[in-house]
Amino acid sequence: MTTNGLAVETRALRKTYRSATGRRVVGVEGLDLEVPVGGVHGFLGPNGSGKTTTIRMLLGLVRPDAGTMRIFDEPVPARLPQVVTRVGAIVEQPKFFPTFTGRRNLDLLARAIDAPRGLVDTVLHDVGLADRQHDAYRTFSLGMKQRLAIAATLLKDPELLIFDEPTNGLDPAGIREIRDTMRGLAERGKTVLVSSHVLAEVQQVADTVSIIARGRLLASGRVTDLVAGRAAGAVRVGVREPDRALEILRAHRIEASLDRTGTIHATGVSDPAQITWVLGSNGLYVHELIAERADLEAVFLELTQGLGPGTVEAPPEGSRRARRRGES
């Protein structure tokens, strides 16, 4: 148990890298992350936002430049050896013997870590591979391989499971299988921390989330609260002259932005007819007016509006402080 109710906690976490040009690129900047004990916590953000870097720091694979980290109240990496048995993680695709069956691969691993032999049956059932356990690993689909990897992490019966982009490359059926597996683990009392850049997908399984961009925390909390509290009255607007329409809407104090497809996204609109009237009064006629469903993706777009792409890039040590575009 933990005294603060958190499985993972970071404070002011920072990590920089040296780029090929010699500049210091900021991967994680002052990150305060809180993952409550129990349930599924989505660690969300676009590719290059610092998710994998943060996970690697938590697991002791990368050393932070500044800040503190705790797993189940234990400071890491100083106390990582004492807490590592309570953590299971999949950061990269694990290596299995391709000609061995799924079960034999797990039997060998269980023997290596001195796990109870009967636990192999349990974990195969937990990830839905009991009926395919005698098939060769090389015949497994990508989704089945990912589930076998999850089964391998469960052999030490961890309390916290950390998955980095577990649905990458999977087809819809595979994504659903991984989602159901994560939900089942949470229902058994495990804490699941899953990183992803697919916000809509994680919304279907996560209880709580942290949203980051450019190495910084933008929002965190329960999914229901974040979705309910933001993107209210969001409307998608299609019009022939979107740039001009955007100026008109903003002149009427209607918050709006323009995406790459030329579609306008307006928020805080209590009556969509107001948009039709404002634009029509200026000779612009709407050909599309659709209320947007409030979801994590809409929340993220609202939070990141105006931030621009990339991450913060710091200058080399000893030079004048500056900030410019980079990538984590």
- Domain ranges within the chain, ordered by starting residue: 6-228, 232-293
Rounded CA gap, 274 and 237, in Å? Answer: 12
- Do 6-228 and 232-293 share a fold? no
CATH class, range 232-293: alpha beta
**pLDDT grade, residue 313 (50/70/90)?**
very low
**pLDDT grade, residue 272 (50/70/90)?**
confident
**pLDDT grade, residue 18 (50/70/90)?**
confident
What is the pLDDT, as a whole number, of residue 260? 82
Tokens of 161: 């499971």
Q: Which of 64-68, 153-157, 169-173, 306-310 has the lowest mean pLDDT?
A: 306-310
DSSP string, 227-239: HHHSSTT-EEEEE
Q: From 152, 222, 150, 143, select the one nearest 176 (Cα to Cα).
A: 143
What is the pLDDT, as a whole number, of residue 138? 96
What is the pLDDT, as a whole number, of residue 155? 94
pLDDT digits (tens, 9 = 90+) for 71-84: 999 999 999 999 99
Rounded CA gap, 328 and 315, in Å? Answer: 15
Residue 185 has pLDDT above 90, yes or no: yes
Residue 258 has pLDDT above 70, yes or no: yes
What is the pLDDT, as a whole number, of residue 1? 58
Look at the domain 6-228 and name its fold.
Rossmann fold (3.40.50)
Tokens of 28: 């994680």
* Cβ contact 113:55 at 8 Å: no
What is the pLDDT, as a whole number, of residue 306? 55
pTM, two decimals, is: 0.77
What is the pLDDT, as a whole number, of residue 305? 63
Residue 323 has pLDDT above 50, yes or no: no
